[in-house]
Amino acid sequence: MPNEPGNVDVTYTPDQETVVVHYKVVGTNSTAAAGRTITGAFGDGYTTTPLSINGYTWNGVTPANATGTYGTSNDDVTYYYTVNYNIVPVDPNGNPIPGTTTTPETGTPGEPIKVPNIPGYIVKVIPNVPDQPGDVTVVYVKIPSTKPTTPAQPITTATPTVIPTKVVQRQETNLQPVVQNHAESKRLPQTGEKDSAVSEVVGLSLLLSVFSFFGIKRRRHEEK
């Protein structure tokens, strides 16, 4: 209280507000690193950033409240991380696969890991991403080699040769009936009959020659 009447100056100090920042593993309640608390005066602005955490990889998603203003109540800021792991290829006896090395990967715990392809081998059981960073042993089984089979020669069949058939068109001819006259319709003489007929013709010719000779001679005699 003042000793004398008058004005009294009152100095107000802003309240200190806080924001809690978390660093968690994607898909789990596990933490990638311990959270931290930042403090500022009421009404002042704040800014948060992801941390570089050994064994984890930030998923690249920036929270909506990564930056803001201190108030009487402030929501927590949470950054999420995936788990880093190393794939170690081995055979069924636990021996390293020749010519291979460990492969670094990152992923969400509980999901299948990204299995590298190794020529000549297959993976029968694919492990899941671990909850904590570390090595993941993957068993590879060698693919049995098979001798290449000689493909069977294709069976070729002879193609039949088609010989074109010449089509002969039948020409129709108008056949006129042959009408024989009465003389031609008589029976033709046989061989013996033909010889006899020739002899008769020869004899008749000789006889006519004789008659003609005597007729001519007689006529000459009468003329004398």
Per-residue pLDDT of 148-204, as tens digits, reads 666 667 666 656 566 655 554 555 545 454 444 444 444 545 555 555 555 666 667
Domain(s) labelled CATH 3.10.20.320 in the chain stretch across: 16-82
| 221, two tokens | 């005699």
**Could you tell me which CATH number the domain at 16-82 has?**
3.10.20.320
The answer, yes or no, to whether residue 12 has pLDDT greater than 70, is: yes
Looking at residue 96, the DSSP 8-state letter turns out to be B
Q: Is 87 helix (H, G, I), strand (E, B) or coil?
A: strand
Q: What is the reported pLDDT for 137?
A: 95
Instruction: Please choose, from the candidates 21, 25, 22, 23, the residue with its C-alpha nearest in 3D space to the C-alpha of residue 39.
Output: 21
Contact call for residues 20 and 73 (beta carbons, < 8 A): no
47 DSSP β-pair partners:
67
Ranking 9-23, 39-53, 110-124, 205-219 by mean pLDDT, the lowest is 205-219
Q: What is the reported pLDDT for 13?
A: 77
Q: Rounded distance, CA 52 to CA 30, Å?
A: 17
Contact call for residues 30 and 81 (beta carbons, < 8 A): no
